Structure 1
Amino acid sequence: MFRFICVVIFLVTFLILSIPVFLVEWIIGKFNRQKRDYSSLRIVQWAFKVILKFTSVKTTVIGEEHVPDEPVLFIGNHRSFFDILLTYSRCRRLTGYVAKKEMEHIPLLSTWMRYLYCLFLDRENPKEGLKTILQAIDYVKNGISICIFPEGTRNKGEELSMLPFKDGAFKIATKTNCAIIPVSMNNTCAIFEKQFPRIKKVHVVIEYGEPIYPNNLDKEDKKHIGSYVQNIIQETIRKNADLV
């Protein structure tokens, strides 16, 4: 429980102290939008790294050199709230995450998310969902990477299982031909979800796959690109199961 209490205290303190920081960031943005974007990115990454320090999680990262220095679509399996902290704290470029619509109503946290080009997806409204995907496509065209977990929600099943991927997410790549980077994560739910509300010191593995450019795929693989990417992630988490 000690780790959980430390994380909660830090998170609440960080969000409260963010109030004057938002004003400073807003002023910076009036003169230099890119400078504001990257300062916001580094501030949030610092906070995430502090939280991960509290968890004492040990992370093995494989294949990070595969991520090109260009806007990409990160596609990952999703089993824990900590998936976001583990991956976002490693982003070198501006990256917006696609989150569920409900997070838009969390005070202060949602402000940081908007500063960082995160998008809020309404899974119950197809029309609004399409608008979110179109906005993500526009972000990629303007040099901002996008990360999405196409299972649609956290998978609470067996460790090596995955929910079917939602196909809509892949339009972000097929409409821009940006690289898809498969992100395979093992054992992340053991940090928190398995023994809620305790946070446990565990070992997790994150592997970044080689870039997949939709236009380089054959016709059949491109037609079923969601299944194609999901199979890569599924094979990778099975391969890495013995490392945790």
Structure 2
Amino acid sequence: MGNVVLYYCRVVLAVIVLLVSALYGTIASIVCTIIGKQHLSQYTTARFYYNAMKYIMGIDVKVIGEEKLENKPFIAVSNHQSTLDILMLGRMFPPGCTVTAKTSLKYIPFLGWFMALSGTYFLNRSNRQQSVDTLNDGLRTIKEKKRALWIFPEGTRSYSTDLKILPFKKGAFHLAQQGKIPIVPVVVSNTSTLMNSKYHVFNRGVITVKVMDPISTEDLQKEDIGKFSEDLRDKMFEELKEIGYSKAINETSVPPESVLYTKQKDIERLSSRGEDSAVSSATNLLSQAD
């Protein structure tokens, strides 16, 4: 009962932080637009939100390979899990980067206003041609002004407690192929150890993010996009299995899948050291957990 109450208290606090950040973003977007710096609106708001969540909610983001986001233009693609993806973006967003979002978000007070004012590309899922036109406009801006676009190719949040990446939609890859823009894969550790409604988890902790090497699309042909996206998803999934779950400070309240993963990794680590007795003990514990 105590964990459930704490969970909902932290959810309310996180929503307040998000709304305050959206209000800040609305004001910042107006100011940035007036002074001709609209492309910095999302960057400044992202950093505001990240720092607020870090110091108020106790959730930090550790980035591996961040220097690979320095050379624009590029299209970043990352796995999509929960609302904590916004926090990841808050830490990762480089200046001059923007996102795509469904049109309905435009009408949410503060958050939608901020997104509209800061240059978000809104996609109408019921009107494909309108979405294509929006993305083509975005493509021109990205190339001409050396900007960046962040896309979640899964198309929806997985909310998975397992290590999982859903099948990719191909829009981001068609866009990259059409504009000959590099793709930067970004893999985010499973965040269900920090936030999960099924188990009423909302812990403090650290999200690990791995920026993989940029991939050129100069020679990518339209007919090869399907295989390209599938191969990339497979590579990102292998990376996800390596970085695993986000590190929770309160590990007594995490999904059981993450506990099993940790034990398996411990066995692999001990086995690589040749510690047979320790491996035997750990294996027994693992079988008991199952």
Which residue does 1:60 correspond to in 2?
Answer: 62
1:84 to 80, 83, 86: 86
Gapped regions of structure 1 (runs ≥ 5): none
1:103 equivalent to 2:105? Answer yes
> Once superposed, which parts of structure 1, at least 4 consecutive aligned residues long, lie more than 6 Å away?
none
1:155 and 2:158 aligned: yes
Contact 2:182 2:215 in 1 (8 A): yes
- In the alignment of these two chains, the number of paired residues is 239
1:116 corresponds to which of 115, 118, 122: 118
2:13 corresponds to 1:6:
yes
Alpha-carbon deviation of 1:160? Answer: 1.4
- Same amino acid, percent of matched pairs: 25
Among 178, 181, 200, which residue is 2:181 paired with?
178
Compared CA separation, residues 213 and 55, structure 1 to 2 (3 A): same
The answer (yes or no) to whether the contact 2:68–2:211 under 8 Å persists in 1 is: yes
User: Are the counterparts in 1 of residues 21 and 48 from structure 2 also a CA contact under 8 Å?
Assistant: no
| Range moving further from structure 2, 179-188 or 14-23 | 14-23
Distance in 2 separating the partners of 1:76 and 1:147: 8
Q: CA deviation at 1:74?
A: 0.5
Between the aligned partners of 1:237 and 1:175, the Cα distance in structure 2 is: 28
Between 1 and 2, higher relative CO (CA 8 Å, sep ≥ 6) is seen in 1
When residues 8 and 215 of structure 1 are mapped into structure 2, their CA distance, relative to the original with a 3 A threshold, is same
Encode CA deviations 1:167-215: one digit per residue, 9 max, x unaligned: 1221221112221110101122333234587632133211000000112
Deviations 1:86-113 (A, max 9, x none): 1243222211111122211112212221
The answer to whether the Cα contact below 8 Å between 1:98 and 1:118 also exists between their aligned partners in 2 is: yes
Q: How far 1:51 moved relative to its partner?
A: 2.1
Q: 2:170 aligns with which of 134, 154, 167?
A: 167
Q: Quote the offset at 1:161 in angstroms.
A: 1.6
Question: Which sits farther off after the overlay, 133-142 or 15-24?
Answer: 15-24
Larger Rg: 2
Q: 1:55 to 1:180 in 2, by over 3 A?
A: same
Residue 204 (str. 1) matches residue 207 (str. 2)? yes
Counterpart of 2:34? 27
How far does residue 166 in structure 1 lie from its aligned partner after superposition? 0.5
Name the SS of the counterpart of 1:188 in structure 2. Answer: coil
* Counterparts in 2 of 1:135 and 1:66: CA distance versus 1, 3 Å: same
The letter of the residue matching 1:47 is Y
Superposition CA RMSD, Å: 2.8
